[in-house]
Amino acid sequence: MKVDRTAERNGDDAMCKTIEVAVVDHRDLSPFAAAAAGGPPPPGPGGEEAHFTPPLNFAMVDNGIFRSGFPDSANFAFLQTLGLRSIICLCPEPYPEANMEFLKSSGIKLFQFGIEGYKEPFVYIPEETIREALKVLLDVRNHPVLIHCKRGKHRTGCLVGCLRKLQRWCLSSIFDEYQRFAAAKARVSDQSQ
């Protein structure tokens, strides 16, 4: 640790101390580093060329927070590049075995909050469930984290909208973001949560 003693030598009380920390070049850690340097992309699981396909409706929400539709095996190589610690699944169905194996082999923790997906427009989303999911989402020990539901639209949009409210976004911006992902299927009831 390196402490800036300039202020102390000048007789001032130091309000800020400079701390020297290790510098890590994340480009060296990325699977894209070899490809960016002109080399071949890293091999996939069977030794073949890896393909990095993001899940449906994938996007970055904030630093260390991502959103998407339900990932499948075609998305696993891409998800590994994110260095995820946790996944928040908002679907009630049992998590697929292939996905569970991927989570286990990657050391990713699964938080599953079973919120039913409905086609009807005025559906109640349990407030307590959203509150519990927000607690997991806000805990930085779970970051990087991926939030997903079936299509990455409505249930995921509700949770992200609640996060945006806590981030003090104005409601019109929250609704605009929700509608960007929900497309023509935006639900009025989801926006009122």
Catalytic residue among 149, 158, 162, 170: 149
Q: Read off the amino acid at residue 87.
A: I
Residues ≥6 apart with Cβ < 8 Å to 160: 61, 67, 147, 177, 178
β-bridge pairing 145-148 and 86-89: parallel
How many residues comprise the chain? 193
CB 127 within 8 A of CB 186: no
Phi, psi torsion values for 145, nearest 5 degrees: -130, 145
Per the annotation, the verdict on 149 as an active-site residue is: yes
Q: Where are the alpha helices (DSSP H) in the chain?
A: 6-9, 33-36, 76-81, 97-106, 127-138, 154-166, 171-182, 188-191
Positions annotated as catalytic residues are: 149
